[in-house]
Amino acid sequence: MHQNGTLEADWLTLFDSTSASVRDALRQVVTDHRVQMADAFYARMMGDPDARPFLTHEAVETRLRQSMQRWLEILFSCTDRERIPTVLAMQRHVGDVHARIELPVNIVARGARALKREIARHLPDTGLDARSLVDALLYADSLIDLAFEEMSAAYVATHERATRIDEAYRAFAYGQNMSLERERQRAALLDWENHFLQDMMTGAAGDELPRLGGSAFGLWLHHKATAIFDGSHELPALHEAILRVDDTLAPLCQAQLGHDDREEMRRLAKAVQAELDQIKFLLASMFERFVDLESGKDALTHLLNRRFLPAILSRETEISRSQGKPFALLMADVDHFKHINDAYGHEAGDRVLQQVAAVLLNAVRSGDFVFRYGGEEFLIVLVEVDVTHARRIAEKIRSHIDREPFLLPNGHTLKVTTSIGLALHDGHPDYQRLVTRADEALYRAKHDGRNRCVVADA
């Protein structure tokens, strides 16, 4: 994470500047009173109307209270510097989870104040002298602040990434054609180039030359492209090229207007065209790198790209929470796929994956989502289903593939089977937990003999 080095350094400084006796006393306080501390945290959270949509009494009792106790123990039981990066990683994981379930950071911070009060309440029982008590209080307060700072940074990064993906999915859903967009921006860039060079050759002293940053292409790059292609290494290079044109070359060109130094004008025109050639190259590379946005589909199977899985699962999780409509995941894997590739070649393997994809699409409803999850794995999101209905669809897929003669490039046919793991959404707000449960059910299906469907434990 961007600021992780600085935060880790601050954590190490805090650790080194606090005596081992104070740290040991705090660790003992947390160990002895972690139950009361977790109770205080969730009492504060459950009493907060902003936090209630994210919590249930059942979740607190069966899972979250124990998780908070473990978090406290790990945070305060760090006895050597080498463990600090591991503890930091735990805070990032918590921040990622909070972002996925969209639990605002400020709500969790309110619970953190309750933790600090509870720790302070038990510190006098340690027998520390007055000076050490102050040190212990400052250490506990700073340690929790550092942990929440790292959580918050991870939350922001994950949330921003999810937002960008969600925007990309909306663009895909509304039918944005990236090939058309690429041609549109090429035309806009060429149009600016023609106007600029013409104005250079015909302009008079005092005339204003058009700026690339203010052109249709420049505005698109600064606003839309920044959102769509965020993270692309071509994007900053494009911005820098535009600055060189607008801040260096354009003023030099403008200064020559009305003069008769044709050689200097030709030299400057060539310099502008060289920058524009670089911009065109970077633009083509950027569109090529993100060509998957054109259709949002896997190139081989034409199923959805897993890039959009977080956006779809977040939406379905929210629909389930707000409207009470359950959904399920099927994780399907082609059995012995490596053997198919080894025995018949990768072209045959590709043909099998394409035929499996066709079976999946024919087996589900128009409102369901089918992804190529990776390699020979597929993921299906079944909307508004109970476990009985989901199991029926999974068995339909399994039996259809089992009966289907798969045609190979050499004209021969091959028998193919698939294993399927099924997980019904159980109300947990973190969709990644549902994916993990489906994956674990798939592992059991393969372990139990393949060519079967296994339902994840509730």
The CATH number given to whatever domain includes residue 331 is 3.30.70.270
User: With 50 as the cut, is the pLDDT of residue 72 above it?
Assistant: yes
Per-residue burial over 350-389, b = 16 or more CB atoms within 10 Å of its CB, e = otherwise: ebbbebbbebbeebbeeebbbbbbeebbbbbbbbbbeeee
Q: How many domains does the chain have?
A: 3
Exposed/middle/buried for residue 6 (C-beta within 10 Å: 0-12, 13-18, 19+): exposed
The verdict on 183 and 286 lying in the same domain is: yes
Does 228 map to a domain?
A: yes
pLDDT of residue 125: 86
The verdict on 309 and 285 lying in the same domain is: no
- For the chain, give me the number of helices (H) and strands (E)? 18, 8
In terms of residue numbers, what domain contains 255? 178-293
The verdict on 54 and 146 lying in the same domain is: yes
User: With 70 as the cut, is the pLDDT of residue 32 above it?
Assistant: yes
The verdict on 158 and 193 lying in the same domain is: no
pLDDT of residue 174: 45
Mean pLDDT of 260-289: 90
Q: What CA–CA distance (Å, rounded) separates 418 from 377?
A: 10
Dihedral over Cα of 97, 115, 110, 57: its sign:
positive
> In 4-129, which ranges are continuous DSSP H helix?
4-17, 20-46, 57-59, 65-76, 84-100, 105-122
> pLDDT tens-digit profile of 2-13?
455 688 899 999
Q: Backbone phi, then psi, for 365, in 5-degree steps?
A: -90, 170
Mean pLDDT of 151-164: 79
User: With 90 as the cut, is the pLDDT of residue 360 above it?
Assistant: yes
The verdict on 233 and 355 lying in the same domain is: no
The verdict on 34 and 15 lying in the same domain is: yes
The verdict on 48 and 148 lying in the same domain is: yes
Domain boundary residue, one of 272, 293, 314? 293
User: With 50 as the cut, is the pLDDT of residue 357 above it?
Assistant: yes
Domain boundary residue, one of 103, 137, 166? 166
Does 213 map to a domain?
A: yes
pLDDT of residue 45: 85
CATH number at residue 161: 1.10.490.10
pLDDT of residue 42: 87
Exposed/middle/buried for residue 263 (C-beta within 10 Å: 0-12, 13-18, 19+): exposed
Does 43 map to a domain?
A: yes
Q: Specify whether the CB–CB gap between 307 and 377 falls below 8 A.
A: no
What pTM does this model have? 0.56
The verdict on 219 and 364 lying in the same domain is: no
> pLDDT tens-digit profile of 214-247?
898 998 888 777 766 767 789 999 999 999 999 9
Report the DSSP beta bridge partners of residue 380. Answer: 330, 370
The verdict on 153 and 250 lying in the same domain is: no
Does 299 map to a domain?
A: no
The verdict on 48 and 86 lying in the same domain is: yes
Does 153 map to a domain?
A: yes
Does 171 map to a domain?
A: no
Percent of the chain with pLDDT over 90: 50
Does 311 map to a domain?
A: yes
User: With 50 as the cut, is the pLDDT of residue 155 above it?
Assistant: yes
Domain boundary residue, one of 293, 313, 344? 293
The verdict on 12 and 142 lying in the same domain is: yes
The verdict on 233 and 345 lying in the same domain is: no
